[in-house]
Structure 1
Amino acid sequence: MQPVLSTKKNIILMVVAIVIVFGGIAGIKAPSTIVLITGGAAIIFLSLLWGIKWEDIERDILRSIGHMMIPILILLAVGMMIGVWMLSGTIPFLVYYGLILLKPSIFLFVACLVCAIMTLMNGNSWATIGTVGVALMGVSMGLEIPLYYTAAAVVVGAIFGDKVSPLSDSTILASSITDVELMDHVKHLLYTTVPGLVISLILYLIIGFQFNNETVDSENISAILNSLNDNFNLNPLVMLPPLAVLILISRRAPALPVYGVGIFLGAVIGAFFQDRSIMEVAEALSDGYSYDTGLDIVNQIVQQGGLSSMLSTVAILIAAAIFGAPLQTSGLIDIMLNKIKQFAKTGRSMMASCLTLHTGFFTIIGSYYVTYAVFGPVLKNLYDDYGLHRKNLSRTFEDTGTALAPLVPWSVTGAFIANTLQVPNGEFILYAPMIYLGIVFAVIYIMTGFGIAKSDQQIPRNTSKQIS
C-alpha cells in the first residue's frame, strides 16, 4: 500500500504532532485531553488541506474508538465499583485491618506482591489499582509512609500481574493482534518482566529498612481506626463483593459481568450493613463516596470513586483516537515500515527499529489500544520475513506499551493511576523500576540474541535476513 501523502508531508505531520503534545503538556502544562484533541485537529486540518478525504479520516477514528469500547466500559465499571465499595465498607475494612496487621518495614514489599497476585487473578490492573491500591494508599497514610513509595509498589505489582495474566485485555490484545498463542506470549513475557519485578521487590525491602526502627504515631493510627469504626459497620461480610469477584474471575467469567456482580453486591451490602438509602447508593455510584467522617485523613482515604471520576480518563481514550487515527490515514505508518525494510539488514536491527518505533508512537499517542491495533497487523509479517517468531513482537508491544504506560502522564493508564492514587506520575516512577527495565532487558536480549525466539516456520520468507 502506497502512502496517501508524501514522505515530506508526513514528516511535517509528525513534527506538528510532537511539538503540540510535548509543548502543550510539558511546556504550558495544558490538560492532556485538550492537547491530544488540539493535536488531532491540527493533523486533520493539514490532511484535509493536502487532499485526504474526511470520510477516510472519520473511518479510522471510529475504528480506533471501536477498539476502545470495552476498556471504556471497564473504566466506568471500576469507577462505580470504587464508589460503592467505599460506601459498603469493603475498602474501609481493608484499610482498617491493613493498619492493624501490616508492619512499616515490609509494607511496600507486601503491597507489591498483593497487587501482583490480585491482578494475576482478575486480569485488570485498573481494577486492582482502584480497589486494593486505593486501600493500600489509605494504609500508607496511616503508617506515615510517603505515598509515592506506595504508589510505585502498587503500580509495579498491578502492571506485572496485568502483563502475565491470561485474563488481561492488553495481554489478549497483544497476542491476538500478532497471531500468537496466548500462553506462548505470556511465557515469553517472563524474560523481560520477572527481572524487573525481582529488582523492584529488592528495592522495596531496602526502602523498608528506613521504617524498621521508626515509631508509628500510635495516636494517629488510633484516630484513624476509631473514625473508620465509627463511620462504617466493619462486619467481615462486607468482603463478600471482592470474594465473589475473585471466585467468578477464577472461573474465567467475562470481566464486565463480574464487575457488575461486584457493584450489585456492594450496593446491597451498603444498603443493609451501612444503612444507606437507594439514593445514597446511587450517588456513590455516580459521584463516589462523599460523606464527612469527621477526620481529614480518613476523608482523603474514603472520599473517592464514582462513574464521574473516570470520565476524564475516558475522554483521554477518545482524544487518543482522534489524535492517532489521522496519522494512520495519512500513510505515515506505511512510510515508517518502508524505512525499516530499507535499512534493517538483520533481525537485530529490525527488532530494534520496531521497539523504537512503537515506543515513540506510544509515547506520543498514549494508548496501546490504538498502537497495538495499528502496528500489529503490519509488523507481524515483517518478523516472518526475518525468520523470527511473532511472540518477540507481542512481547515488544507489552514492554513498550502496557508496562511503559504509567510513565507517560497523558496516556490512558498513566492518567488513571495519577487520578486514582492521587500521586503525580513523575513522583512515583523512579521507585517503579520494572516499568522501564523491561525495555532495558529487551534491548539487551536483542543485542545478545538471548531470549529471542526463532520462527516456527522451517524456511523463512527471506533467508538472507536472519538474526545472526
Structure 2
Amino acid sequence: MENKKTSNGLALLPFLVFVAIYLGSGIILQAKGVEMAFYQLPAPVAIFCGIISAFFILKGTAEEKFDALLEGCGNKDIIIMCTIYLLAGAFAGVSKAIGGVESTVNLGLTYIPAQYIAVGLFLITCFISISTGTSVGSIVAIGPIAVGLAEKSGLSLPFVLAAVMGGAMFGDNLSVISDTTIAATRTQGCEMRDKFRVNIYIAAPAAIITIILLLIFGRPEVIPPMQAYDYNIIKVLPYLLVLILSLIGVNVFVVLTLGIVVSGVIGLAYGNLTVITFSQEIFNGFLGMIEIFLLSMFTGGLAHMITKAGGIQYLLDKIQSMVKGRRSAEIGIGALVAMTDAAVANNTVAIIINGPIAKEMCNKYKVDPRRSAALLDIFSCIMQGVIPYGAQMLILLSFTKGTVTPFQLMPLLWYQWLLGISAIVSMYIPFADGLIKKNPWDWSKKEVNI
C-alpha cells in the first residue's frame, strides 16, 4: 500500500474505535454471561464503525476519503486474498460434505495404538488442521472423541484437551489453506510454500518435543480396546493433493480449484453429492467465508485511509525508537501481532491489521518477508491458542460441560509455549533460515507470483 511520509497519531483513532467496539462488546457480553461473548458482534460490523469514524476524524473531503477507502478495498493483494478465501471455503465445504473429515479422523483412530492416546490425538488433530486449514473445525471434529477417550482411559482430561489444542494450532499455523497463512503471505508479498518452508523449521522442534513429552507423561491408566472405525482412504486424497501441490509450488488458484473438482468427483462417484448439491456446497463454502472476506476488504480500505493520513508512519516512528535492527524488528513484529490478537481474539484479524506495519518494518530493517510472514502467523496462533476467551478454547471446553477451566489447560499447552520459545531462539540462532540464505530476498521486486 502507498505510504506518504506524513506522521499523524490522530489518524490511528479509527482503528482504535474498531478495537474498542470489538473488544468492548466482548467484555460487556462476557460480564453478562453470554456464551462465546467475543464472537457475538460480527467483526465486519465493528470495522465498518471504524470506517465511519474515519470519515469524521481524518482530514480531507468526503470524496478524497471515499477514494482512499475504495483504493484500499480494491488493492490487488486484498482482492487476491479474498478470492483465495472463497476457494478455500469451497474446498473445505465440499470435502467435508463427502465425508473427508470423518474419514481422516477415523483413519487415525483406527491405526494409532490405544496406549498412545494423547500423542495420537495430537497427531490426528495436526493432520486434520493442516489438511482443512481450520483449528476450530479440527477441534469440533476431535474434541468429543478426546473427551470420551480420556474418560475411558483414566487420563487427565485437561492433559488430553491440551494435546488437541496444540495439534489444532499446529495446522492453523502451517496449513496452506488456512486464512492466517493466506493473510500472512499476501500482506508480506511472499509465496505460501516459502513461508511454509521457513515456518516448518520453527514449528518442527516444538512439535517433536511435544510428542516426546506426550509419550512420557501420556500413558493411560487403563488402555481401552482398539476399535476399527469406518473410513475411506479415497476421501482423504483431496486433502493430500492440495497439501502436496501447494508445497511443490503449483499456483494456489489451480490447487484449490483442482481440490474442489476432485472432491466433487469423489462425492458424485460415491453418491454423497449430486451435481446440484455439489454446486450448493461450493456456494455454502463461499458463504462461510463472507465474514472474513468482508473483514479483509474493509480492513484493507481502513488501513489505506489511515496510511494516507499518516497513521502508519506515526506508529513506525514510535516503534523505531525501540527497534535498533533486524532482530529487534522481528521481536516487534511478533509482539505487535500477539498483543493485537489478545485484544481482538482473532488471529486472522490480528495479521490483517499488522500486515502493513510488518511490511514497512521489513523494508526498513531488511527482515525477509518470508520470515515476517512466518512470525506473524506463529505469534498470532500462539496467542489465539492460549487466551481463555478465544473461539478455540471456548469450543473445546464446551465439550467438558464446565468440568475443565481454561486455567487448568493453560499450563499444559506445551506446543504453544514451545513454539514461542522456538521462534524467539530462531531470532538469535538462525536455524530456520536455510531457504533465506540459499535464496536471498530480492528487495527490488514489487510483486510476487502466487
TM-score, normalised relative to structure 1: 0.66
Query: Residue in 1 aligned with 2:8?
Result: 6
CA distance in 1, matches of 2:102, 2:371: 43
Q: How does 1:21-420 map to 2 (within 5 A)?
A: 21-29=22-30, 30=37, 32=39, 34-50=41-57, 51=59, 53-63=65-75, 64=78, 66-85=80-99, 101-116=111-126, 124-126=132-134, 130=137, 136-137=142-143, 139-140=145-146, 142-145=148-151, 152-157=162-167, 159-160=169-170, 163=173, 174=184, 178=188, 185-190=195-200, 192-206=202-216, 208-209=218-219, 212-214=220-222, 216=224, 238-243=232-237, 245-247=239-241, 249-250=243-244, 254-270=255-271, 278=274, 282=277, 286=281, 308=284, 311=287, 314-319=290-295, 321-323=297-299, 325-331=301-307, 332-364=311-343, 366=346, 367=348, 370-371=352-353, 373-384=355-366, 389-401=368-380, 404-407=383-386, 415=391
The CA distance in 1 between the partners of 2:70 and 2:40, in whole Å, is: 19
Q: Which amino acid aligns with 1:239?
A: I
Deviation string 1:396-452 (CA, Å, 9 cap, x unpaired) is 223223554445689xxx658977997699586664433354334434554x56659
Q: Cα–Cα, structure 1 residues 165 and 397, in superposed 2: closer, same or farther, change >3 Å?
A: same
- The secondary structure found in structure 2 opposite 1:213 is coil
- Kindly indicate whether residue 423 of structure 2 is the aligned counterpart of residue 442 of structure 1: yes
Distance in 1 between residues matched to 2:144 and 2:89, nearest whole Å = 21
In structure 1, list runs of 5 or more residues that go unmatched: 229-233, 272-276, 287-305, 462-468
What CA deviation, in whole Å up to 9, does each residue of 1:40-81 have, x standing for no partner?
233222211133512212332343355222123212331232
Structure 2: any 5+ residue segments left out of the alignment?
31-36, 444-450
Query: 1:32, 1:375 → 2: CA distance?
Result: 25
Change in CA separation of 1:392 and 1:152 when aligned onto 2, cut-off 3 Å: same
Taking the aligned partners of 1:240 and 1:268, their CA distance within structure 2 comes to 11
Question: Structure 1: how far apart are the matches of 2:38 and 2:391?
Answer: 10
Contact 2:118 2:163 in 1 (8 A): yes
How far off its partner does 1:24 sit? Answer: 1.3
One-letter code aligned to 1:60: G
Q: Distance in 1 between matches of 2:133 and 2:262?
A: 18
Quickly say closer, same or farther: Cα 1:138–1:429, change in 2 above 3 A.
Answer: same
The structure number with the bigger radius of gyration is 1
Instruction: Check conservation: 2:165, 2:392, Cα contact below 8 A.
Output: no
Per-residue CA deviations over 1:196-243 (Å, capped at 9, x if unaligned) read 21343234335523xx22264x8xx99xx8xx8xxxxx5x7x432223
Contact (CA 8 Å) 1:98, 1:139: kept in 2 or not? no
Measure, in 2, the Cα distance between the counterparts of 1:67 and 1:190: 22
Aligned length, in residue pairs: 402
Deviations 1:98-129 (A, max 9, x none): 66654443122123234445666x5x533x97
- In 2 relative to 1, CA 80–11 (structure 1 residues): closer, same or farther, beyond 3 Å? same
The amino acid of 1:381's aligned partner reads N
Partner SS for 2:380: coil
SS, match of residue 318 in structure 2: helix
1:269 deviates by 0.9
TM-score (norm: length of structure 2): 0.68
Counterparts of 2:38 and 2:178, CA distance in 1: 29
- Identity of paired residues, percent? 17
Do the aligned residues in 1 keep the contact of 2:69 with 2:302 (CA within 8 Å)? yes
The residue type equivalent to 1:242 in the other structure is V
Whether contact under 8 Å (1:119, 1:162) holds in the other structure is yes
Asked whether 1:433 is paired with 2:411, we answer no
160-169 or 435-444, which deviates more: 160-169
- Rounded Cα–Cα distance in structure 2 between residues aligned with 1:26 and 1:37: 18
Structure 1 residues 361-370 or 63-72, which shifts more? 361-370
Q: CA deviation at 1:136?
A: 4.1
- The verdict on how the C-alpha distance between 1:282 and 1:420 changes in structure 2, with shifts beyond 3 A counting, is farther
- Taking the aligned partners of 2:20 and 2:93, their CA distance within structure 1 comes to 33
The aligned amino acid for 1:193 is A
The offset of 1:344, in angstroms, is: 2.6
